[in-house]
């Protein structure tokens, strides 16, 4: 049974997050790591979308709030 917190799982999630794009709205087709933090905060106040996109936006807000955005950018370049 695979642990959801395994290194391999975390790596795969970060790689997927680094390649994810916004599917709608003002920032359509931009990578999630390119979204302004204020936009992500707005989502947190109004409600994140359901499903995978909402989870990815929450993760990206947490990453940006903790100053770790540069790591996602590096992963995206690989």
Evaluate whether residue 2 is within a structural domain. no
Evaluate whether residue 1 is within a structural domain. no
> Above 70 in pLDDT, residue 4?
no
Evaluate whether residue 51 is within a structural domain. yes
Evaluate whether residue 16 is within a structural domain. yes
Query: CA 9 → CA 12, 14, 36, 52, 62, distances in Å?
Result: 5, 9, 26, 15, 18
User: pTM higher than 0.75, yes or no?
Assistant: yes
Residue 68 sits in which domain range?
Answer: 7-77
Calculate the average pLDDT of the chain. 93
Evaluate whether residue 52 is within a structural domain. yes
pLDDT digits 0-9 by tens, 21-38: 999 999 999 999 999 999
- Residue closest to 54 by CA, chosen among 67, 42, 65, 43: 43
Residue with tokens 């499903």: 51
Number of domains in the chain: 1
For residue 27, give the DSSP letter: T
Contact at 8 Å (CB) between 57 and 48? yes
């Amino acid at each position: 049974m695979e642990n959801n917190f395994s290194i391999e799982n975390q790596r795969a999630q970060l790689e997927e997050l680094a390649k994810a794009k916004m599917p709608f709205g003002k920032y359509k087709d931009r990578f999630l790591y390119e979204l302004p933090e204020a936009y992500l905060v707005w989502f947190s106040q109004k409600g994140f979308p359901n499903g995978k996109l909402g989870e990815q936006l929450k993760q990206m807000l947490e990453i940006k709030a903790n100053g770790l955005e540069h790591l996602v950018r590096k992963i995206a370049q690989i």
